Chains A and B, each alone.
Chain A
Amino acid sequence: MPHAQTWNAAPPTFRRRWNRNAQAALGFAAVALVWGVITRQVFMGAGVDETLAGAEVPDIPVTLLTVASVAGRFTGLALEAAFYLAWWRSWGAAFRFGRFFAWIAGLSLIDAWALGLRSIAREHGGAVATWLAPVVGIDLWRDGPAGSASSLELAFATLGLTTLARIGLTAHAQARETGGRLWKPLLLTSVLWLVCRVVTWWTLDLARGASPMP
């Protein structure tokens, strides 16, 4: 049998699955690329390159740091998806990890977009920062010398409309998976976000002691 015929003879479900996997791989690659570009810009803006250049450690290129950061972000997203999987499965709901992971990886682009806007706001300051603050993070309203922000302020720094959109859409993705109503996943996602912020606040305080935050 010719190869083409063998391919055509494959069951449609296999082809559909192959197409779906290829699409998912392309989607993940696109998300990783966007995160890579944004993260690199943030590192360069923060002067990481010059900081590393002056360090007495083996020279670590910013590209390597960017790759590590993107890998870390995807690990975080996988953990987030795993938590929701464990939660909804424990309540007896059908929940597919891969599909949900792909959803929240896509939704993370909202965070990437917000991060990019925050860099622009910090660069321009003034009116740009004032107007973007409700969208990408209330800390843009704060005016003070470096190190004067408390850990609580830093933990909730990114609270804005993009955060609310991310919470709402993550809840919507869960509702799609479980087939249930929106309010339960919305409550769960909101509580989890709040808990994560509180953990960040306490961890920052434990890390800094009496030192001011950089």
Chain B
Amino acid sequence: MRHVTGAWFRWVGSAALVVACAGALIVLGVLWRRDRARVWEEPRFRAQQFVRLAGSESNDKSREWWLVAVNPRCPHCSQHLAHTLVARRAQPGVRVGILLVDTPKPPAAESFANVGVDGLWWDERETWRRRWGHRIYGETMVFDGGGRYLRTLPPGFDRPR
């Protein structure tokens, strides 16, 4: 190995690099471990849990409710919502609703008047993030007619991978 003029502090330099990288990895690992160890509530769709801004009650006679998590500042959410609405056409008895998440003040219900959903709710108490542990905007949570959680579809689920 070709060596340039060196001194003992070169060892300190390499040790500092290793310690810095290992330290960052350990911090990330601790954060990850703590996060994965958290036990989240199983989602349940109850109308009184959220602030209803428009549309029907959740517990009606529909077969399934598809609830799309939308943040007003999310640039892709409208497209994911459109995908969900298209996918719903092939599913009789399915109702689609919007759950506005991570927003301190909901936008006016009129701004969703032309979207074609069956309900609009605002997650005022941040249930979606803090109690259910969900974090990806545009996902579709599927509940049965009684509000029992069935599954979550990722954003763009109707697009072939």
Taking beta carbons and an 8 Å cutoff, which residues of A are in contact with B? 47, 50-57, 86-87, 89-94, 122, 145-147, 178-180, 195, 198-199, 202-203, 205-214
A146 to B156 alpha-carbon distance, docked (Å): 9
Q: Is B139 an interface residue (CB 8 A)?
A: yes
Nearest CB of chain B from residue A86's CB, rounded to whole Å: 6
A142 to chain B: closest residue by CB: B161
User: How distant is B66 from chain A, measured CB to nearest CB, in Å?
Assistant: 14
Q: For residue A145, which residue of chain B has the nearest CB?
A: B157
- With A92-B6, A93-B4, A179-B2 already in contact, the answer to whether A55 and B135 are too (CB < 8 A) is no
How many Å from the CB of A50 to the closest CB on chain B?
Answer: 7
A56–B75 contact, CB under 8 A? yes
What CA separation (Å) do A93 and B2 show in the bound complex?
6
Number of A-B contacts (CB under 8 A): 111
Which chain A positions have C-beta within 8 A of B40? 209-210
Chain B residues near A56: list those with CB within 8 A: 75, 78
- Asked if residues A212 and B14 are in contact (CB atoms below 8 Å), the reply is no
Q: Which of B23-31, B53-61, B119-127 contacts its partner?
A: B23-31
Q: How long is the Cα–Cα vector from A33 to B128 in the complex, in angstroms?
A: 43
Contacts of B13 in A (CB 8 A): 86, 89-90
B154: chain A residues at CB < 8 Å are: 146-147, 211-214
Give min CB distance, B139 to chain A, whole Å.
5
Does any Cβ of A come within 8 Å of B21's Cβ?
yes
Q: Which of B1, B31, B159 makes the CB contact (< 8 A) with A206?
A: B31
Q: Does B17 belong to the interface (CB within 8 Å)? A: yes
**Counting chain B CB atoms within 10 Å of each CB, which of A198, A202, A209 scores highest?**
A209
Closest residue to A56 on the B side, CB-wise? B78
A54 & B152 in contact (Cβ 8 Å cutoff): no
Given contacts A47-B159, A90-B13, A211-B139, A55 and B2 within 8 Å (CB-CB): no
Contacts of A93 in B (CB 8 A): 1-4
